[in-house]
Structure 1
Amino acid sequence: MGKAEVGTTKWVANQQRSKGLQRLRWWCEPCSKQCKDANGFKCHVQSETHVRQMQVVGEDPRKYINNFSNDFQRDFVSLLRTSHGEKWISANRFYNEYIRDKEHVHMNSTKWSSLTEFTKQLGREGICHVKEDEKDGLMIAWRDTSVAAVTRRNEIAELEAAEARSGAGEDKMLKKMAKRAQEEAEAKKVIEAKRAAAAASMQKEDTTPPADGATLSESAVPTEDKKADSPVEQNKEEPKVESAPIKLSFGLKAKAIPPNKAGLGQMKSQSIFKRKKDDTLEQKPVKKVKL
């Protein structure tokens, strides 16, 4: 029984019946035929069409395997680029999106035995970015290797490096300013603490009651003055020894005062007015008395 030609009624009926995915084990890649069950797959394998196709593949199987592998990789990467771009996605989840197409190239006809091996090879060749996540397992993202994309990435890297350098300088300056402010604040705290302690000590001294027998004026005197004027210390002081008078002699003899001349200490003070009056009296003419 031959295969229905494309566009015929039988071909349309077969397409409608084969909606959705079928079992992969009943798929024949050389013939691109999907069977519904094990009996249908057995009948297909024994058919003359499948036998002739397998004879052609058997002449150079490596060539067909490489072709299937290249087609699988091309379609896989193309769908990844158009659907997700450079965003990260789980490899297993994306493979489920890829196999939704019924006409896709199946992995059992390629040189890769598992999806993990295929994903790791994409990462080694630099076609995609691959990383391993604890939750989702292998993650995959498309890598844009075009000249424009490489130039754009280089420019972005240069800008980030420049920002990092300028940011490092600003961070260094900010750290210095913060350190200086902290030192000034600590010094200010120390000064305030000293002032508070001094004020507290002065207040304590002012509020202390005077001792017995001490007057109010004595209690108001500072402690240093009290210590200096305290009677206990005065009693403890040793008696002062009077020193002998020191005579100064310059080798000059005292001038003797004449006996008939009064000294400076013996002179009588005379009034200026009285002396003036006497002078005027002396100037008056003396009357001559006739005898």
Structure 2
Amino acid sequence: MPRAEVGTNKYLANKMKSKGLQRLRWYCQACEKQCRDANGFKCHVQSEPHVRQMQLVGEDPKKYINGFSNDFQRDFLQLLRTAHGEKWIGANRFYNEYIRDKEHIHMNATKWQSLTEFVKYLGREGIVNVKEDEKDGLMIAWRDTSLQALRRREEIRELEAAEARNVAGEDKMLKRMEKRAREEAEARTKEKEPGARKSPEETSQSPVAEESAPEAPVKISFGLKPKALPTTKPEVKKQSIFKRARTEDGEKSVKKVKL
């Protein structure tokens, strides 16, 4: 039965039926053709184009296997870089994202037998970062090996080292201040202790002991303050000897001069 022409209703119906993922066992990687059932796959295997393509593959199978492996690895890493970058993701979960494309290269056409073997190969070659998690199993993350990424990592490493040095210097300074404060506190407590002996330095600075000054007598006051005596004498008016005395009649007395 001939194929339906492009644009016809039969062609569109076939495209709608083949939409989405189909059975992997009914897919021919050499011809890149997906069959919908076992009968269709059987007919495809017996067809002349498939037989001719398989003869070409049989002449140099390693060439085709290596080509499919390189294409699979390229598409796998490109999707990992664009979709997740350097973030960690489960290998099985990411593989399910990869096979959503109906035109992807199938793993059964490559040199790797399983996804675990392929992920371990990428880790050994240093292409991606690989680690094992108890919950998600194998985890992968894309490793950026460009010059810009290397410079950025070097700058981040230098900043972290400088910050660590600053923190270490601050810790040393705080420890030094704490030690000095502890020594000063111990010195104060020793000075306050009764009967504490003076150090030889203090005795050399003051060889002669200072005599204690006699205590002043205690004055008892009942709240009565004595009146303060005037400091200056009252002014007394002095009469002039030349002042004439007045008589009772109001006349001035004649000054008598003794001879």
TM norm structure 1: 0.60
Residue deviations 1:235-264 (CA, integer Å, cap 9, x gap): xxxxxxxxxxxxxxxxxxxxxxxxxxxxxx
**Equivalent residues in 2 for 1:156-167, closer than 5 Å:** 156-167=156-167
Residue deviations 1:37-85 (CA, integer Å, cap 9, x gap): 2222222212222111111111111011111011111111111111111
**Equivalent residues in 2 for 1:125-274, closer than 5 Å:** 125-181=125-181, 187=186
Say yes or no: does 1:83 pair with 2:83: yes
Residue deviations 1:142-183 (CA, integer Å, cap 9, x gap): 111111111111111112112212222222222343455566
Match of 1:59 in 2: 59
* Whole-angstrom CA distance in 1 between matches of 2:19 and 2:103: 11
Residue deviations 1:251-281 (CA, integer Å, cap 9, x gap): xxxxxxxxxxxxxxxxxxxxxxxxxxxxxxx
Question: CA 1:138/1:179 → structure 2, altered by over 3 Å: closer, same or farther?
Answer: farther
More helix by share: 1
* Whole-angstrom CA distance in 2 between matches of 1:189 and 1:48: 106
Question: CA 1:182/1:128 → structure 2, altered by over 3 Å: closer, same or farther?
Answer: farther
Residue deviations 1:167-204 (CA, integer Å, cap 9, x gap): 2222222234345556666x49977xx79xxxxxxxxx
Say yes or no: does 1:115 pair with 2:125: no
CA drift of 1:5 comes to 6.0
Question: CA 1:2/1:179 → structure 2, altered by over 3 Å: closer, same or farther?
Answer: farther
Letter of the 1:148 counterpart = Q
For structure 1, the residue ranges without an aligned partner over 5 or more in a row are 196-291
Q: Mean Cα displacement is larger for which, 36-45 or 21-30?
A: 36-45
* Whole-angstrom CA distance in 2 between matches of 1:182 and 1:37: 87
Letter of the 1:58 counterpart = G
CA drift of 1:7 comes to 5.2
Question: CA 1:189/1:15 → structure 2, altered by over 3 Å: closer, same or farther?
Answer: farther
Match of 2:70 in 1: 70
Identity %, equivalent residues: 76
Residue deviations 1:67-109 (CA, integer Å, cap 9, x gap): 1011111111111111111111111111100001111111110
TM norm structure 2: 0.67
Tell me: higher relative CO, structure 1 or 2? Use CA pairs within 8 A at least 6 residues apart. Answer: 2
* Whole-angstrom CA distance in 1 between matches of 2:178 and 2:4: 83
Paired positions, count:
194
Partner SS, residue 101 of structure 2: coil
Letter of the 1:173 counterpart = M
Question: CA 1:165/1:27 → structure 2, altered by over 3 Å: closer, same or farther?
Answer: same
Match of 1:229 in 2: none
Letter of the 1:15 counterpart = K
Partner SS, residue 111 of structure 1: coil
Match of 1:13 in 2: 13
Letter of the 1:147 counterpart = L
Letter of the 2:158 counterpart = E
Match of 1:222 in 2: none
CA drift of 1:3 comes to 5.0
Q: Kindly name which structure, 1 or 2, has the bigger radius of gyration based on alpha carbons.
A: 1
For structure 2, the residue ranges without an aligned partner over 5 or more in a row are 195-259
Partner SS, residue 131 of structure 1: strand
Say yes or no: does 1:98 pair with 2:106: no
